A and B are shown apart, each in its own frame.
Chain A
Amino acid sequence: MTDTKREAPASLEKRAAALEIVLRRKADMPKNFVAEFTEHADDAWITANGAQMVARAWTDPEYRARMLVDGTAAARELGFEFPEHHRNLVVLENTPTVHNVIVCTLCSCTAYTIIGAAPDWYKDLDYRARVVRESRTVLREMGLDLPATTEIRVWDTTADTRYMVLPMQPPATTGWPVQKLATIVTQDSMIGVTRLEQVKG
């Protein structure tokens, strides 16, 4: 592993395939595990889950209140699941003067069963290093120019607690049915790098 002796490592495809062979041969991984897991993850752990929670909160004040007290219970109420190590979901409420944004500086943790798999930019070293210290600047670079009066709250996912942002409902969508509202809620708005107020009816 010393720099002078370093050869080019085998390709990532080869290395991943080798691990699959080892797990099948020596840890009894079923042949169809990878396909079945991938299908389940891609079908069940999607942004639409969090979007449904947000749309429900916009239309049901009692659900909203429950969600802000116990996000985990509010997610389970709509039938969503968590892996064993996601023991707490905390929902962070945006207001006209408060903006929440999520990061994981130490790795790239997210509530992936609720908001979907983290996008590549969230795992980017630049995002992890900078958004805690230069929140307003980073958000502006990403297209969200917050007024100077808006208080920014940054949440670093350093333990087993997971976070999601409850964005504000766009005024133009007042009165929409809950299923239609869910279609406008994006993953980025639940991470907190966009707001939805500009969405048109």
Chain B
Amino acid sequence: MDGLHDLGGKQGFGRVKYPSAPHNENWRPLVRALHAFAIESHIYNMDEFRHAIERMTPRHYISAPYFERHLTAIATLLIEKGIATREELESLVDGEFPLSGPLGPGRLPFAPQSFAIGETVRVKNEFVSGHVRVPAYVRGKTGTIVHVSTPTPFPDAAGHNMQAEMEPTYDVRFRASDLWPDTSDEALNHVAVFQSYLEKVEGA
């Protein structure tokens, strides 16, 4: 989905707060552990979790610390999975418990294709309303495959708890000057792209 989480190349941001200040907030490791339990117990999978974060309202997403985004996704998924109700959570905290927006339909992977290291490929120019792991900055762009991974779950299906074949991902190399002509530092940008998101380039 075209959410605020898709930050790569967005302009107007400032200096990175580096190095990080130490913190002593006990709720953070607690949230990390609760998420680990939910994953271990197969209450939800990693793609459902990431998508639940993406479904936070833009205003909430941009203002929430990292582990508040996790906390919001866990709460949303516990309700969607029937483990808790909104009223129950609000009663436990004695106040408002902000949640993510509703879940829409997912989609299945495309028919398998095969690509080789060194091959020139194009990222499909697709606009997907559900979970998708293509950053907008490579949509429709052409690059070269430099590495092939072992198969992993197709996120657009897994993020919606749909069963799907696993498929390989490809590390694709782009030139920054092709992604953002005249408005980027020169670099080689690599993005891990699922097979279904790629198409062959004629004559390449």
Contact between A119 and B71 (Cβ–Cβ < 8 Å)? no
B117 at the interface (CB under 8 A from A): no
**Chain A, interface SS category:** mixed
Knowing A121-B20, A129-B10 touch, does A12 contact B71 (C-beta < 8 A)?
A: yes
The one of B38, B94, B190 that contacts A155, using a Cβ cutoff of 8 Å: B190
A interface, how many residues as a size bin? 35 or more
- Residue numbers of B with Cβ under 8 A of A are 5-11, 13-21, 23, 25-27, 29-34, 36-39, 41, 43, 45-46, 50, 53, 57, 59, 62, 65-68, 71, 74-75, 78, 83-84, 88-89, 92-99, 133-135, 137, 147, 149-150, 152-153, 155, 169, 171, 176, 179-180, 183-194
List, sorted by A's number, 10 A–B pairs whose CB atoms are closer than 8 Å.
A13-B26, A15-B27, A20-B30, A23-B38, A26-B83, A26-B84, A87-B152, A105-B137, A106-B135, A121-B16
The one of B67, B135, B194 that contacts A105, using a Cβ cutoff of 8 Å: B135
Residues 137-152 of A, flagged 1 when their CB comes within 8 A of B and 0 if not, give 1100111000000011
Within 8 A of B (CB), among A1-45: 1, 3, 6-23, 26-27, 29, 33-34, 37-38, 41
The one of B15, B65, B94, B185 that contacts A152, using a Cβ cutoff of 8 Å: B185
Contact between B188 and A160 (Cβ–Cβ < 8 Å)? no
Contact between A158 and B193 (Cβ–Cβ < 8 Å)? yes
Contact between A88 and B149 (Cβ–Cβ < 8 Å)? yes
Give the residue among A19, A138, A151 with the most B Cβ atoms within 10 A. A19
Contact between A151 and B188 (Cβ–Cβ < 8 Å)? yes
Residues 96-130 of A, flagged 1 when their CB comes within 8 A of B and 0 if not, give 00000001011110000000000111011111111
Give, as a whole number of angstroms, the nearest-CB distance from A152 to chain B.
4
Given the complex of chains A and B, what is the CA–CA distance between A139 and B5 in angstroms?
22
Contact partners of A108 in chain B: CB under 8 A = 66
Contact between B83 and A22 (Cβ–Cβ < 8 Å)? yes
Beyond A34-B29, A135-B187, list 17 extra A-B contacts (CB 8 Å).
A18-B89, A22-B92, A26-B83, A37-B36, A41-B36, A87-B149, A120-B66, A121-B20, A126-B14, A127-B18, A133-B11, A141-B16, A152-B185, A155-B190, A156-B190, A158-B135, A161-B192
Contact between A125 and B30 (Cβ–Cβ < 8 Å)? no
Contact between A129 and B13 (Cβ–Cβ < 8 Å)? yes
Knowing A14-B95, A34-B34, A108-B66 touch, does A152 contact B186 (C-beta < 8 A)?
A: yes
A90 at the interface (CB under 8 A from B): yes
Contact partners of B20 in chain A: CB under 8 A = 119-121
Q: Which residue of A lies closest to B20 (CB)?
A: A120
Q: Which residue of B lies closest to A123 (CB)?
A: B66
Give, as a whole number of angstroms, the nearest-CB distance from B122 to chain A.
16
Counting from the closest, the 8 A-B pairs by CB-CB distance are A105-B8, A10-B93, A159-B192, A120-B20, A18-B92, A10-B95, A159-B169, A160-B152
Contact between A1 and B98 (Cβ–Cβ < 8 Å)? yes
Give, as a whole number of angstroms, the nearest-CB distance from A23 to chain B.
6
Given the complex of chains A and B, what is the CA–CA distance between A158 and B6 in angstroms?
11
Knowing A125-B62, A128-B8, A156-B8 touch, does A141 contact B15 (C-beta < 8 A)?
A: yes
